[in-house]
Chains A and B, each alone.
Chain A
Amino acid sequence: AAGVIQSPRHLIKEKRETATLKCYPIPRHDTVYWYQQGPGQDPQFLISFYEKMQSDKGSIPDRFSAQQFSDYHSELNMSSLELGDSALYFCASSLRDSGRRSEQYFGPGTRLTVT
């Protein structure tokens, strides 16, 4: 079965550079979530999209922005990178329903290292 695809899998950037992370959800899934997992931490919600519109926002820095495109893939844009942005970034997708019962399926993550 098709899974969530994230690219790149690994990314090394220097401070103050920019980075773009991509996420391709499971086919027919209409909702995308972005999470950040720091070393030894639990995943923290950043932002989500439903049908190409932002649906919720968490602890996402102003330096970060994201969008969902017409083909439902999503991109997380990160500017003015800081050392503290080094983390594993996960994308998850789900099929939205009125009861919010659907589980989220996670991609393998993008490991961002800022030097």
Chain B
Amino acid sequence: DAGVTQSPTHLIKTRGQQVTLRCSPKSGHDTVSWYQQALGQGPQFIFQYYEEEERQRGNFPDRFSGHQFPNYSSELNVNALLLGDSALYLCASSWGQGESSSSFGSGTQLSVL
């Protein structure tokens, strides 16, 4: 039973570029949430996708956008990258009906130079 998988594991970009990160949820989960974890900080909620729509959003600019596909997998897109976007990006999946425990992937480490 596969858990949450994320790709790529590491990525290096330069300022101003655009990046796409991918996530496949745990089997049986239909909801995907994205978090940003800067060095020395706890994860911060970016947004959550359920039924292919953004259901909730944290305090992140419009440069951060996402998508969920019919198979529940998801993408996180970041445009016009800034140095401050360097972080570990975590994907978490859960069952969308009410509250349920989240399972996290190992993350994508993004470095912006």
**Are A and B genuine complex partners?**
no
